Structure 1
Amino acid sequence: MSLGKQVAANLPFLRRYARALTGSQSTGDAFVRATLEAALADEDLKASLNGGRIPLYRAFNSVWSSAYLEIDSANDTTGGEHEMGAQNRLGAITPLNRQALLLTTLEDFSAAQAAQVMDLETSQVEALAAEAVREIDKEQATSVLIIEDEPLISMQLEDLVTSLGHDIFGTAATRTQALAVVSEKRPGLVLADIQLADGSSGLDAVDDILAIDTVPVIFITAYPERLLTGDRPEPTYLVTKPFQEQTVQAAISQALFFGSSRPLD
């Protein structure tokens, strides 16, 4: 496979990681673009990308680490409320912890692979990820709406959400049910499937909710590539089915951190 095809195949997932890391689609894409530009300008770096995902993420990590403070301090007023809030809060959580957790959960790297990406020892990555989990436990409890048409998955998500100390705001299997659940009050977080029981779309259900009020959203789908095209605004938090519970846990932590703070109703 040519270098261009290798990079293209992994690019949607790097962009997902970048968005989760920064809490912003525009900022995440800017880091990805800077990574590709750096590779074009450096033949050694460009050649290293032939190794697949790990070298690509390693190159991104180098750009992220060197530019983090500069980007974080910039006044970005082009994003929405969610993105602006994310940039204002980036300094409040340890970046290395967040990287280690996202690489080993959202991106499904082993601790040893994540260590190669981050240029650390495996034991260091394991310690950083463990610290990130402890930071997750400090998150303020909220109420969670689950939009999912498969009963077993819905129950699995309910068990996970409650085990993390959050409340179940409600469950819905269709767009109509979701809108009915939020008709009187709002959840603090939404977990949403894409394809729902009656043929309706979880994307449309979330649009209905966001038209009423701002709330952090995590999409959970078996077909992430359908949403990672760059043709439309993409979800910042996207978990692939079948999922690991730790992956959902990490996404919840990120969404609550970057999203608007909302107490229990």
Structure 2
Amino acid sequence: MIARILIIEDEALVAMELRFILEDLGHQVVGVAATARAARDLVRENDVDLALVDIHLSDGPTGIALGRELGQDMGVSVLFMTANPGMVREGVAGAIGALSKPTDEQAVETAVDYALRRRHGQPVEYAPPGLQLFG
């Protein structure tokens, strides 16, 4: 299942690695944003299926609020990425879960596949390792 994915990550090397992984999997990366403002602009300019959202961005700890906005107001499915998944709680509209960082290609692949299946109402057989699920 191919998707249009936005990476919201302020660490350039992490963002670049995620981009390579996602493109190798055949997904279209619509952009990389290091700030909440840049992310909003990219979502307005592109049709985005899924956003990978770091919870601490260069303009502050805005990732959770941004994820809520993307899910609730813009119809984007959200996977948070954080070294401390316990910081993110359920109840963020559109958020599927939180993926622990650091991560690897296999974890990203299975988490993205899981998120896209949930987005499209397809059955999911298991929760991927390293992904803290919401609802």
Same fold (TM over 0.5): yes
Shift of 1:236: 2.9
Give the Cα separation in 1 of the matches to 2:61 and 2:82: 14
Aligned residue number for residue 132 of structure 2: none
Any stretches of 5+ residues in structure 2 without a counterpart?
122-135
Give the Cα separation in 2 of the matches to 1:148 and 1:187: 16
Aligned residue number for residue 252 of structure 1: 112
Distance 1:211 1:184, change over 3 A: farther
Give the Cα separation in 2 of the matches to 1:185 and 1:151: 21
2:10 to 149, 152, 157: 149
Aligned residue number for residue 237 of structure 1: 97
Shift of 1:179: 0.6
Aligned residue number for residue 125 of structure 2: none
Q: Give the conservation status (yes or no) of the 8 Å contact 1:195–1:202.
A: yes
| Larger relative helix fraction | 1
Aligned runs of 1:127-138 on 2, under 5 Å? none
Give the Cα separation in 2 of the matches to 1:200 and 1:243: 20
Shift of 1:246: 0.7
Q: Which amino acid aligns with 2:91?
A: P
1:11-64 per-residue CA deviation (whole Å, 9 max, x = no partner) reads: xxxxxxxxxxxxxxxxxxxxxxxxxxxxxxxxxxxxxxxxxxxxxxxxxxxxxx
2:30 to 149, 169, 174: 169
Q: Give the conservation status (yes or no) of the 8 Å contact 1:192–1:218.
A: yes
Give the Cα separation in 2 of the matches to 1:185 and 1:236: 21
Aligned runs of 1:56-205 on 2, under 5 Å? 140-205=1-66
Aligned residues: CA RMSD: 1.7
Give the Cα separation in 2 of the matches to 1:167 and 1:223: 27
Does residue 206 of the first structure (1) align with residue 64 of the second (2)? Answer: no
Aligned runs of 1:35-54 on 2, under 5 Å? none
Shift of 1:212: 3.3
Partner SS state of residue 183, structure 1 = helix
Q: Which amino acid aligns with 1:159?
A: F
Q: Which amino acid aligns with 2:9?
A: E
Shift of 1:200: 4.1
Q: How does the TM-score come out when normalised to structure 1?
A: 0.42
Aligned identity (percent) is: 34
Q: Give the conservation status (yes or no) of the 8 Å contact 2:10–2:35.
A: yes
Partner SS state of residue 190, structure 1 = strand
How many pairs are equivalent?
119
Q: How does the TM-score come out when normalised to structure 2?
A: 0.80
Distance 1:186 1:207, change over 3 A: farther
Any stretches of 5+ residues in structure 1 without a counterpart?
1-139
Greater than 6 Å deviation, 4+ residue runs: none
